[in-house]
Amino acid sequence: MNALTVDVEDYFQVSAFAARIAPADWPAMPCRVERNVDLILGMLAAHGVHATFFTLGWIAERYPALVRRIVSAGHELASHGYAHQRASQQTPQQFAHDITRSKHLLEQLSGQPVLGYRAPSFSIGQRNLWALDSLLQAGYRYSSSIYPIRHDHYGMPDAPRFAWRPRGEHGLLELPVSTVRLLGRNLPAGGGGYFRLLPYAASRWALRRINSHDGQAGIFYFHPWELDPGQPVLSGISLKTRLRHYLNLRRMEARIDRLLGDFRWGRIDHIFLEHA
């Protein structure tokens, strides 16, 4: 059983567009998240799969009915923070306010406890592990925010690849997105842009290796905007950013549908917390 996760944010909120679109501009942007999440909910229902939805407070505040549809369909509701600000760019006070605000908002809308958190852009690492203490104090039970890879914007390549407690045995449980170990390096195997860039067979092989060779549950993630080739195309962005964001969007829906059929999937809390 592997954990399927969805980072619920809209196309204009991604970190790669932060220099181009400020949060103050978000209300004026055409939102497409509701349509995209409903598409995902339909796909999951067709396969009988439950997942964890790391949801932005900003989205939940504007689409409360969408939050309730996620929960009523049997999925886990978790936090992606309120305003998609990187943890590494916030002070401890700002971070504590953000994670508490989003948690309370999601709990009020869903009527259920919110146990999990994923930092935008996997922005918890060696320099800000204090963020895990703040999450524990705010009432969270786990994080999925430290990506054990080398990346130009995030990552903690020397971190453990599977569940661990960075702050000691009484600290918060960290559940990293999946990687495979090859030639002395951790390579991404848990979704995102790599899933769109590489052939589907590469991701299937990697997840099967994690399940069989490592004997571990995988953790996979994607975004609703990745299933939306009709989203507005931003101008004035670099070629690198354009490729990362728009590459193979038209193939994504079919790939996710195939992934749902090739593996067994469940919610993070059911897979990891019940056996913690």
Q: Which residues contact 1 (CB under 8 A, 6 or more apart)?
A: 217, 264, 265, 266, 271
Strand duo 116-117 + 2-8: pairing: unpaired
Buried b (16+ CB within 10 A) or exposed e, 120-152: bbbbbbeebbebbebbbebebbbbbbbbbbeee
* pLDDT range class, residue 236, cuts 50, 70, 90: confident
The string of DSSP letters for 21-34 reads S-GGGGGGSPP-HH
Cβ neighbours, 10 Å, residue 22: 9
Give the pLDDT confidence of 67-122 residue by residue, as tens digits. 999 999 999 999 999 999 999 999 999 999 999 999 999 999 999 999 999 999 99
Are 228 and 196 in contact, with CB atoms under 8 Å apart? Answer: no
Give the pLDDT confidence of 196-232 residue by residue, as tens digits. 999 999 999 999 999 999 999 999 999 999 999 999 9
pLDDT at 183: 87
Region 239-249 average pLDDT: 91
Domains and CATH numbers, the chain: 2-275 (3.20.20.370)
Indicate the average pLDDT of the chain: 95
What's the pTM value of the predicted model, to 2 decimals? 0.96
Give the pLDDT confidence of 146-199 residue by residue, as tens digits. 999 887 667 799 999 999 999 999 999 999 999 999 988 999 999 988 999 999
Region 38-45 average pLDDT: 98
* pLDDT range class, residue 22, cuts 50, 70, 90: very high
The string of DSSP letters for 258-271 reads HHHHHS-EE-HHHH
Rounded-to-integer distance, Cα 150 and Cα 155, Å = 5
